[in-house]
Chain A
Amino acid sequence: MPKAILYDSTMCIGCRLCEKACAEHHNLPYNDDIAKEEKLSAHKLTAITTHGDRFMRRFCMNCVSPTCASVCPVAALQKSALGPVTYDSTRCIGCRYCMLACPYQVPTYQWNSRLPVVKKCDMCADRVAAGSPTACAEACPTGATKFGERDGLIAEARQRLAANPSQYYSKIYGLEEVGGTSMLLLSAVPFEDLGVKVSLPHEPMPMLTWRALSEIPSIVSVFGVLLGGVWWIRHRTEEVQAAERAEREKKS
């Protein structure tokens, strides 16, 4: 069963313990200066962003049909059955198409490294595979970040919305966006006010390129037959003309 994370902005106190736990688990530096950077980067795979007195969490949405995995030419990015979208740096060639394509602008790059790799939240794939919750969910003191089965968390989110309709903006973010995400968000205010990308298509993004790619076999066969045919006709005409001319010359 696929796992997921439910982040409830109304419960978040902005303590950034999730950031710290994430950095520790991924062997990245963490200090007060890094805590102040409210954006994702190669050394910060999750970030709490402040919007007045409210908070939002940025991390890889670990989409159900991940765009990054579909565009990667070497299949370095993979969707695992448990939910996490993982990255194998030994395959990566550094084309950065995943960064261009990601609708959430999540993958980041080690720009100043001589041998750079892509960095992104992988939903603690190793921990999840071992049956543990993600590092951020384990560290969260208020339960704002909760780890569990995706279906179970969706049910719980619906319950919270139903129990306190006045406290919440009535939408679970991540149910349908780009075909659904592993990260589900709840908020008291419209999501765009917290810097979350709304107005994304509900259709999985990989379909956009797949429609073009699936035309390849027909292009190859149609062009092949067409070009071969044209070549044959054009040269046959020439041959026939020459033969006719030769015949005429023979007669005269």
Chain B
Amino acid sequence: MNGFRAGAKWSFWQIVATVFILGGVYSAYIRVTQGLGGATHLNDQFPWGLWIGFDILCGVGLAAGGFTLAAAVHIFNIERYKPILRPAILTAFLGYLLVILALMFDLGLPYRIWHPLVMWNPHSVMFEVGWCVTLYTTVLALEFVPVVFERFRWNKALKIMRAVLIPLVIVGVILSTLHQSSLGSLYLIVPQKLYPLWYTPLLPVMFFVSALCAGLAMTIFESWQSSKAFGKHLELPLLSSMGRVLAVFLSVYMLMRFLDLWNRSALRLLLVRRPETYLFLLEIAFFLVPMVLLFRQKILSNPLALYGCAVLVLFGFVSNRLNVSITGMEAGSGTSYFPKWTEVAVTLAIVALGFSIFRLACKHLPIFGAQPVVERVRSRAPVPAAAD
């Protein structure tokens, strides 16, 4: 794990990441020279595949830790989450940049990605999505730059950023809410294609709540990973309290899913022997198991168990998004789809790129451990005596 410090010596994961990224570069070449037909298994009946289902839907959802923690720390004033705010913002910022990168692969005419900004159709969910991506990426960049300013000691710029921080965070939370839910709204238009275990008029709400769960799980996941990678002390009480919040969020989400199926009389579909049923049950198990476990004190005080629960929730989240966008759409579209190797290669490359940039940023910027910006913003107001 000390690959960076050891100079020429590469660690196992660095070699893996490099191989993945090279595979992605080669696939990009195929995508550019042979078009979407040569690079994907998409067709007229199945126009959206892995790049939308994983890279975009999951990428945005996993970035939800950014706005959740920004709201917790800056708006709800929960000070103890401060040490993990920066890694969460960094994850979100990187996540959104990578989503845009993935879009450049998936869009038929990527050089026109800016068109929705000048050619409006407010009746389109995709129009809303486009604006949310653009605006929230900007907000995330602004929430993240103080880290860079701090690194280079640009105090004047820091001061300006601190002044606009709170409005910025509020705008960020609103944009995230809209964006997370709008990804669910995209599928409101396909009632005849999406399998009824997943199609519900509540899709936008479901997407929002599950994104909150994924964001928290992602934050626990990366805190654990980073503490391993950088030999940092793990802030267990902090992660336990996040685990407790995650358990509550998961319960709300599961209750909503159950009531929704109940109200649409869709529960009987669980008795139908179809692949969709099994995939649905697997997805729900990924949420239910950690939900139950996270209510136990024994699990909450065990870092490895907490990490395991977070990973399960992430699996649940990813299977939900893939079920909505791919597996749940196949029967209704009258076709089957399995991604081509180039699609998988691009996805792996994007994930590897994410991990690599995160690592680099943590190494060269004050992400972990350093005094968070707010600390000094607050110091203008009298600080409670009990503060550490």
Which residues of A have CB within 8 Å of B190? 100-101
Instruction: Kindly list chain A residues whose C-beta atoms are within 8 Å of the C-beta of B119.
Output: 74-76, 91
In the complex, A59→B121 CA distance in Å?
25
Given A93-B115, A114-B33, A109 and B189 touching (CB < 8 A)? no
Asked if A141 lies at the interface with its beta carbon under 8 angstroms from chain B, I say no
Chain A residues, Cβ within 8 Å of B112? 92-94
B369: Cβ under 8 A from any A Cβ: no
Number of A-B contacts (CB under 8 A): 184
In the bound complex, how far is the Cα of B124 from the Cα of A75, in angstroms? 9
Q: Would you call B160 an interface residue if the criterion is a C-beta within 8 Å of the partner chain's C-beta atoms?
A: no
Instruction: Please pick, from A40, A95, A241, the residue contacting B126 in the complex, using a CB distance under 8 A.
Output: A95
Given A94-B108, A97-B126, do A113 and B381 touch, yes or no (CB 8 Å)? no
With CB as the reference atom, state the residue of chain B lying closest to A101. Answer: B189
CB pair A109 B123 closer than 8 Å: no
Chain A contacts for B44, CB-based, 8 A: 40-42, 99, 105, 107-109, 111
A: which residues have CB within 8 A of B? 40-42, 67, 70-76, 91-97, 99-101, 103, 105, 107-117, 197, 199-201, 205-206, 208-213, 216, 219-220, 223-224, 227-228, 230-231, 234-235, 238-239, 241-243, 245-246
Query: Closest B-chain residue to A76, C-beta based?
Result: B119
Residue numbers in B under 8 Å from A228 (CB-CB):
170
- 16 A-B pairs with C-beta separation under 8 A: A40-B44, A70-B121, A72-B124, A75-B121, A92-B108, A93-B113, A99-B44, A111-B36, A111-B37, A116-B35, A212-B182, A219-B174, A219-B177, A223-B173, A227-B71, A246-B382
Contact call A92/B45, Cβ cutoff below 8 A: no
- Which 9 A-B residue pairs are closest in the complex by CB-CB distance? A94-B108, A111-B37, A242-B382, A73-B126, A234-B77, A112-B37, A96-B47, A75-B121, A99-B47
Give every chain B residue within 8 A of A108 (Cβ-Cβ): 44
CB contacts (< 8 Å) of B12 on chain A: these are: none
Q: Are A238 and B381 within 8 A (Cβ)?
A: yes
Q: Which residue of B lies closest to A216 (CB)?
A: B178
Known contacts A105-B333, A224-B174, A234-B77: A72-B192 contact under CB 8 Å: no
**A145 to B182 Cα, complex, angstroms:** 41
Q: Which residues of B contact A200 (CB under 8 A)?
A: 192
CA distance in complex: A110, B38 (Å)? 11
**B48 CB–A CB distance under 8 Å:** yes
Residues in A with CB closer than 8 Å to B126 are: 71-73, 95, 97
B109 contacts chain A at the CB level, 8 A cutoff: yes
Contacts A92-B108, A109-B36, A234-B76; A71 near B125 (Cβ below 8 A): yes
Taking a contact as CB atoms closer than 8 A, the residue among A115, A208, A231 that contacts B166 in the complex is A231
Contact among B35, B115, B384 with A242 in the assembled complex (CB-CB below 8 Å): B384
Q: Nearest chain B CB to A143's CB is how many angstroms away?
A: 30
Smallest CB separation, B369 vs chain A (Å): 24
Contacts of B192 in A (CB 8 A): 103, 197, 199-200
How far is it, in angstroms, between the C-alpha of A108 and the C-alpha of B126 when the chains are bound? 19
A94 touches B109 (CB 8 A): yes
List, in ascending order, chain A residues with CB within 8 A of B45's CB: 105
> Binding site of B, secondary structure by majority: helix, strand, loop or mixed?
helix
Which chain A residues border B127 with CB–CB below 8 Å? 73-74
Contact between B116 and A93, CB atoms less than 8 A apart? yes
B109–A216 CB distance below 8 A: no
Contacts of B75 in A (CB 8 A): 227, 230-231, 234
Whether A109 contacts B47 by the Cβ 8 Å rule is yes
- Residues on B with C-beta less than 8 A from A41 are 44
Q: Is the CB of A212 within 8 A of B170?
A: no
A115-B109, A216-B178 known, 20 other contacts, Cβ within 8 Å: A72-B124, A73-B121, A91-B119, A92-B108, A92-B112, A93-B108, A96-B108, A101-B190, A111-B37, A208-B191, A212-B182, A212-B204, A213-B122, A219-B178, A220-B174, A224-B174, A227-B173, A231-B170, A234-B76, A242-B383
Please pick, from A94, A210, A239, the residue contacting B107 in the complex, using a CB distance under 8 A: A94
Judge whether A70 and B124 touch: CB under 8 Å: yes
Which one of B35, B38, B48, B121 lies within 8 Å of A96 (CB-CB)? Answer: B48
The reply on B43 being an interface residue by CB < 8 A is yes
Nearest CB of chain B from residue A226's CB, rounded to whole Å: 9
Give Cα A105–Cα B47 distance, bound, in whole angstroms: 10
Bound-state CA distance A107–B44 (Å) is 7
Asked whether B120 lies within 8 Å of A75 as measured between CB atoms, the reply is yes
B42: Cβ under 8 A from any A Cβ: yes
A121 to chain B, nearest CB (A): 14
Q: How far is the CA of A232 from the CA of B285 in the complex (A)?
A: 40
Residues of A within 8 A of B334 (CB): 105
Determine if B185 is an interface residue (Cβ-Cβ < 8 Å).
yes
- CB-based contact B123/A210 at 8 Å: yes
* Set of chain B residues within 8 Å of A113, measured between Cβ atoms: 35, 37
Q: Mark B181-225, 1 if CB is under 8 A from A, else 0.
A: 110011011111100000001001000000000000000000000
Q: Which of A72, A73, A94, A212 contacts B188 (CB 8 A)?
A: A212
With a cutoff of 8 Å between Cβ atoms, the chain A residues found around residue B181 in the complex are: 212
Residue of B whose beta carbon sits closest to that of A212: B185
B35–A208 CB distance below 8 A: no
Q: Mark B64-94, 1 if CB is under 8 A from A, else 0.
A: 0000000100111100000000000000000
